[in-house]
Chains A and B, each alone.
Chain A
Amino acid sequence: MPDPLPTNPARVGALSAHFRAENEGTIVIKGGRVVDATGERDADVVTADGRIAAVGADLDGDRSLDAGGCVVAPGLVDLHAHLRQPGHEEAETIESGSRCAALGGFTAVVAMPNTTPAIDSAAVVREVQELGRNALCAVHPAGAITVGRAGAQLAQLAEMADLGVRLFTDDGTGVQDDLLMRRAMEYCVGLPQPVVLAQHCENTALAAGGHMHEGEWSSRLGIAGQPHEAEEAMVARDIALARLTGARIHMQHMSTAGSVALIAEARASGLAVSAEATPHHMLLTHAECATFDPVFKVNPPLRTEADVAAVCAGVVEDTLDVIATDHAPHPADAKDEPFDLAPPGMLGLEFALGVALSVLDLPIAKVLARLSWRPAAIVGMSDTQGGPVEVGRPANLCVIDPFATWTVEAGRTASRSRNVPYVGRTLKGQVRHTIYQGEPVVIDGTAQR
């Protein structure tokens, strides 16, 4: 098992051991520029008892975190992370996954339900919530739409919503049955809580077991591909069903130019649909698969340059209003196989912000909107996550150096897995500190526990 501690000696700064030993008292985040949904201003931020106690000039605290040259923002919120627990602890645990999240600036993640057993009942929801209590960020289980994510029978959606579940998905697969999906939407409209149905858009018949994007590279490499249309067919269907039912829907990991266009059109017609882009679909193309290295195998697959451009443009234009990681750990031996036999998925929590700041032509406030307050609002988390940096709010914050450049090194991750697709790439924008419920869980790029 890999060393779970992502210690990076090069990044341990002046803040020393006495700091980590003490978690009581006030903390002042000094010298940064506060950026949140309300705007930007230069200010120090003081936290006490897990909340923001003061925001202003020349503040003091028992301890100090340097934010010179940095942005101080609400913690990031990931609507799409696979933490693998229960059932696949060899790949990730809620603890190790939450450490990745904290290192990436996230103070909350929505944990996908494709665990073993699937998160499809109150019992498993409670287990994940319990495991998340000691995590380095807030862990909110997503519930499965169907029992066992098998696509045949509705899961007990109301029972899970009563426990706080706000996002339902069969992620890993899309709900194939059109009528069942209609019923899921209708049923959710009638729940007492506002919930969102999130879809992994993949028509499995059209995807036909494809392991990568169907096109120039799949043809050259002799690997079965899945076409754009396998995704777009389900995006179009769900837009139609959302019109029919009035349900709140969310499109996960949009990867094609056609999907972006469908969502833009639906949004323009007034439909309440949100949609995510992943870091990898904003940066990597199917040409990466040319070496047959399954670290580049992911679902939906890496697509063409035109798709990457369309996804980035979709984020810039706000059609894709959320950046979500689809952090998907797999142990090394699972990827030590030929391309078609390896499972799809890549790590993302520690790299999402750096990729987003590197590839998007957007002011940092707009990048943060898509990484923090928008996703928080979609799952009804705005009271605790993604809210303005103001007195009385829970102290869930991240401190980002937007101009720091860093090169992704093989093996340097807090994940139990190593499937990082960005090794050797230089990214711009780095997380310095992460504060979760007032606790500095990451200081100078180093996890504190």
Chain B
Amino acid sequence: MKHLLDTASLDRDDIDELMELTDAFVEVSQRPIPKVPTLRGRTVALLFYEDSTRTRLSFETAAKRLSADTMTFGVSGSSVTKGESLRDTALTIEAMGVDAVVVRHRSSGAPHRVASWIDASVINGGDGWHDHPTQGLLDCYTLRARLGSLTGRRIAIVGDVKHSRVARADVWAFAALGAEVVLVAPPTLLPPSVEGWPVTVAHHLDDVLGSVDVVALLRMQRERTTEALIPSLREYTARYGLTVARARRLGENAVIMHPGPMNRGVEIAPEVADDPRAVIVDQVRNGVALRMAVLFRLLGAEARSAPAVVDLPAEPAEAVRA
């Protein structure tokens, strides 16, 4: 595996391998000194064209726990119009000597473009509405931890699927692991076509609640009301919000997910966000270990075999503090 650009090109074996690696790095994360020297001397660049504190911090933490060096390029949208093309920026970063570039961009496909221009590994850190593969994978990991296998599990992805890279990442990753995915949204918030997608579609959340094992909620953005996609957030919540009453209809072993940041009171009731069935904090925690697994898989495999990594001694405490 050279790049990680989307989940649709991953098969079950790819995902299983990353899940096993993530198990190992969860163990590392639980050590008193949660750091290994695996990627010492390697450099990971974080090329973020879009503000994203949590994804950036998660990748940065993952890289540092593997002892890689990191450099962050925060590029505001306006510098695009100042004249440097994406290609020039990518070549500039490569010239500084990097082994991997995490690309976050508001344009779908920007990481694919970068991957076509440079030799370093490219990790899609979220591109437009297209994909967010590490999110899809950490969602798989989180579900697996709660449910065991995903095979035959019924998962509802609820909300603004049309504009959601998380939804696209989840659909292909969940389906690869054998889950049944149902997209739940008004037609205005669904992609114009789901031809070829491994999903079914429903327009009424109440119709599917009784039959699902997992409810994966998506962030609902206020500007969707001005685009005439929904009349109001209030009406959205009434039809698609995971309210306390709706959460009560879910089984006691059901799982409630949200990629964050949450709009409490819109797509998810505040009490539901804190429900024991909700794994929202687990998603964030697992994100670091999953991203360590991805970085290891792309950068570390050539140097060391996968199982060896967990046997490596932790760094001395002094080194970590420094």
Contacts and interface: CB of A to CB of B under 8 A. Distances in A.
Interface string B95-135: 00000000001011110110010000000000111110000
Interface string A217-233: 01111110101000000
Contacts of A291: 112, 116
Nearest to A208: B227
Contacts of B128: 222-223, 338, 340
Given A292-B108, A292-B113, A222 B165 contact: yes
Given A339-B107, A340-B108, A227 B192 contact: yes
Given A339-B113, A341-B86, 8 more contacts: A215-B193, A218-B193, A219-B194, A219-B195, A220-B191, A222-B165, A337-B87, A338-B128
A334 B80 CA distance: 11
A336 B85 CA distance: 6
A222 B131 CA distance: 8
Q: Nearest 7 CB-CB pairs, A to B? A: A292-B109, A222-B129, A338-B107, A222-B130, A219-B191, A336-B87, A336-B85
A222 B108 contact: yes
A169 to B, nearest CB: 28
Most buried by B among A214, A219, A223, A225: A219
Given A222-B130, A340-B107, A216 B193 contact: yes
17 contacts: A214-B192, A216-B195, A218-B191, A218-B192, A219-B192, A219-B195, A220-B197, A223-B128, A227-B192, A333-B88, A334-B85, A336-B85, A337-B85, A338-B86, A340-B107, A340-B108, A341-B86
Nearest to A224: B129
Given A336-B85, A336-B87, A338-B86, A223 B194 contact: no
How many of chain A's residues touch chain B, expressed as a range?
A: 20 to 34
B64 interface: no
Given A221-B130, A222-B168, A338 B192 contact: no
Nearest to B129: A222
A219 B164 CA distance: 11
B110 to A, nearest CB: 4
B157 to A, nearest CB: 14
B148 interface: no
Contacts of A336: 85-88, 113
Contact of A341 (B80, B129, B165): B80
Interface in A383-414: none
B227 to A, nearest CB: 9
